[in-house]
Structure 1
Amino acid sequence: MRILVVGNGGREHAIAWKLSQSPLVDKVYCVPGNGGTRLEHKCENVSLLKIEEILCFAKENKIDITVVGPEAPLVEGITDLFKAEGLKIFGPSKQGAMLEGSKAFAKDFMKKYNVKTAAYEVFETAAEAMRYLTECSYPAVIKADGLAAGKGVVICSSFEEAKQCIESFMIDDIFKGAGKKIVIEEYLEGVEASILTVTDGKTIIPLLSAKDHKTIYEDNKGPNTGGMGVVSPNPYCSEEVLEAFKRDIMIPTIEGILSEGIDYTGVIFFGIMITKKGVYNLEYNVRMGDPETQAVLPLMESDFIELILKALDKKLDEYNIKWKNKHACTVVAASGGYPADYKTGFIIKGLDTVQEKVFIAGAKYDGNELVTSGGRVLVVTSLGDSLQEARVKAYNEIKKISFEGIYYRKDIGQ
């Protein structure tokens, strides 16, 4: 089979790497890919960006299945376009992608179908939102309605902080339109967990749980990033928690998708909060997480393309995913200054000495040199019989890598 993977991050490198291991897969085209996918077995980078160009490439090169990594093309409607041309694609329709494309849409969907979630209000003007700030309790969570690269959620501990947040979202327009509408919701205290699932639109199967570390600094301090590291399985996801998740969140969600008649074949990523009052859904993503994917896929014993084929054939109810009896620890190495301003173009050294798996995210080749090109540059993923063993291995190996301004948290999985 000839597979096309859309995207250029660490998640897409992990997807391409896992797909390339299948004996069913002959070739993986990565559009546009990155410095890691360029060297991966069976993989080839193709420099295309527009959906229409990707569609033409898929038709001309007789692509069997397209796998979409990031959310933006899904929200734009890449799945609808491909299906209209009779092409197989793994990812939800434009309507399904609204579960991530609009926080307000997602919260209203959860409310309608009794998915357990935090209380909330939606605002389309700064004046209305400001008035609400005088009566809501703190801390309060403010979310940009649209796509904001994982940075559109702010926990505000006071009226003054919330006021500044609303001004930056709605008036200063820092997210270029994505924050013109906002959701303000109650703050839930507890432990977050990421649970990726695969669905064919009627059956839904959870993958292993994961724990992301969002803030830039240790001890959960500093601004949110796209994710600075992850461990899987999540040590807080007990059987009791997973049962509550399935009962109160996962099953009502798929029932809602069926009831709405939404065309959804792909991944639903649940960001949940485990509290003393129960398990709540914070948000949906309509694609695999980053960096969760870089921890979860190395733990998957099963053939990933077989899972995708079962989903596309609407036969997920026949499939059982097999997992390695291991723990994964994934540590992100970022550019100095990220998630604010940072410099790029620095040579990455030491990769040839690393014995664990490295997934490249923000790096490209400049001649024969791999150089930094993004905020999150790469991740090191290690597996171990225990979380502690995986942590030790990951940190021992990431120490071997260097580039100017390299930064990584020292407490992933601690």
Structure 2
Amino acid sequence: MKILLIGSGGREHALAMKLKSGPVPVELFAAPGSDALAELGTCLAYPVEDIPGITAWCARHRPDLVVVGPEVPLVAGLADALRREGVAVFGHDAATARLEGSKAFAKDFMVRHGIPCAGSRTFTALEAAEEAIRTWDLGLPIVLKADGLAAGKGVVLAGSPGEALATVRAFMAGQFGEASRTVVLEAPLVGMELSLHVLVDVDAGHAAFVMLPPCQDHKRIFDGDRGPNTGGMGAFGPIPFLSASDLDRLRRDLVEPTVAGLAKDGLRARGVLFLGVMWTARGPELLEYNVRFGDPETQVLMELLDEDLATLLLEVAQGRLRRDSVKLRPGCAITVVLAAGGYPEGAEKDVPIALGAPGGVKVVHAGTRRTPAGWVTAGGRVLNLVATAPDLEAARARVEAAVAQVGWPGMQRRSDIGLRALNHAKAGRTVGDAFL
């Protein structure tokens, strides 16, 4: 199967390794790819935003499948352009990608279709937003979201009305360009956060979905959930204290109304939806939609999935998803992100990496570059180490042993990925108990 993979990061490297490891032979191309992806296929000099260039290449070379990694090209209409050329695409149409591309659109969708979520108001005028903050009575922090894509930096949890006022003024003044001139204010949700990925195939007269195991990401850079937010410092799955009835509730409360809403609104969806969920005292509530695989959750999910990925994604892309479940490997998978010095504010680049021999884990390249002397840092999140084991405690031990074999000056990483959930499970607590 000839497959074009759009993207260049750790998510795409994990997808590529899974695609190449299946029983169906894959001829892989990546745009723009990376030095690590070049070891698995052919890299093409097309940025992810180059929709005309990518479309023209596909028209000439006719891949059997295009897999779109990041959200930016989906929001910009890459899947639409490729489908007009008759190319099978795992990735949503631009109309559906608004679920991530516009926070206001997503909130309206949730409310319209009865999906549990935080109370919110959307503002396009600064004066009205300021008045709402001054009279805010929904608790702190006040959650402010830039409406459009802001490279993961468009959400602020303001601990005081003063901070909220300063944030909304900066947003509406164009901190993130047009993406932040419309702002959503939300009430805070308190509970345990999780990441739920769902393969979705919806069009006129057909609606199917498959839930993947819920994972848990760790956003803050330091142990104990301290420090600034990042793109994600590690993840694990499945979550050991989620029961079958908990999974049923996620399906019933969030996934089924989402899929029904897509169908009712006439939105074609052929890809993955990544639901950010907060399990509150009231049950699961939706924080946000993403229209692509999460990073670093993908690194975990690819280890848990016991399917030929190329075949599975092609079913979705061609509107042929008929199954309601997928085969999974037993046990637990965990990934630890190794980040560059200076991250998340910046990244120290071109620092030589001592890769060592981290046995028993898979090494996923997220932000590296290959030189004649070896691998060097080339981004904020540099490497992911991924381990599998029969349970979370054993997986944590395995990945921690491997981390000791890798390093470079200034490297940052967390040592507590999955620890809070492990202690929660050992204490016999459930998802309904306070996540301490």
Residue by residue over 1:85-114, the C-alpha shift from the partner in whole angstroms, topping out at 9 and shown as x without a partner, is 111111110000000000000000011111
Range 379-388 or range 132-141, more displaced: 132-141
Q: Counterpart of 2:213 in 1: which secondary structure? A: strand
Is 1:196 the counterpart of 2:201? The answer is no
Distance 2:13 2:346 in 1: 24
Contact 2:235 2:296 in 1 (8 A): yes
One-letter amino acid of the structure 2 residue matched with residue 153 of structure 1: V
Partner of 1:156: 158
One-letter amino acid of the structure 2 residue matched with residue 304 of structure 1: L
Partner of 1:23: 23
Partner of 2:251: 246
Partner of 1:186: 187
Closer, same or farther: CA 57–367 of 1 in aligned 2, 3 Å: farther
Closer, same or farther: CA 31–135 of 1 in aligned 2, 3 Å: same
Partner of 2:46: 48
Is 1:302 the counterpart of 2:307? The answer is yes
Closer, same or farther: CA 45–122 of 1 in aligned 2, 3 Å: same
Which contiguous aligned blocks of 4+ residues in structure 1 show a shift greater than 3 angstroms? 351-355
Distance 1:369 1:102 in 2: 41
Partner of 1:268: 273
| Equivalent of 1:347 in 344, 352, 356 | 352
Q: How does 1:328-407 map to 2 (within 5 A)?
A: 328-407=333-412
Structure 1: give runs of 5+ residues left out of the alignment: none
Q: How does 1:314-325 map to 2 (within 5 A)?
A: 314-318=319-323, 320-325=325-330
Contact 1:241 1:279 in 2 (8 A): no
Distance 1:25 1:73 in 2: 27
Q: Aligned residues, how many?
A: 411
Measured after TM superposition, the shift of residue 45 of structure 1 is: 1.9
Partner of 1:170: 172
Structure 2: give runs of 5+ residues left out of the alignment: 420-436
Contact 2:4 2:29 in 1 (8 A): yes
Residue by residue over 1:50-82, the C-alpha shift from the partner in whole angstroms, topping out at 9 and shown as x without a partner, is 121112222322311000000000000000000
Contact 1:14 1:297 in 2 (8 A): yes
Partner of 1:147: 149
Distance 2:356 2:85 in 1: 41
Measured after TM superposition, the shift of residue 314 of structure 1 is: 2.6
Distance 2:161 2:176 in 1: 21
Measured after TM superposition, the shift of residue 368 of structure 1 is: 4.9
Measured after TM superposition, the shift of residue 353 of structure 1 is: 4.4
Measured after TM superposition, the shift of residue 351 of structure 1 is: 4.7
Distance 2:44 2:164 in 1: 43
After TM superposition, the score normalised by the length of structure 1 is 0.96
Q: Counterpart of 1:200 in 2: which secondary structure? A: strand
Identity of aligned residues (%): 37
Is 1:6 the counterpart of 2:11? The answer is no
Q: Counterpart of 1:265 in 2: which secondary structure? A: strand
Q: Counterpart of 1:29 in 2: which secondary structure? A: strand
Contact 1:3 1:25 in 2 (8 A): no
Closer, same or farther: CA 314–402 of 1 in aligned 2, 3 Å: same
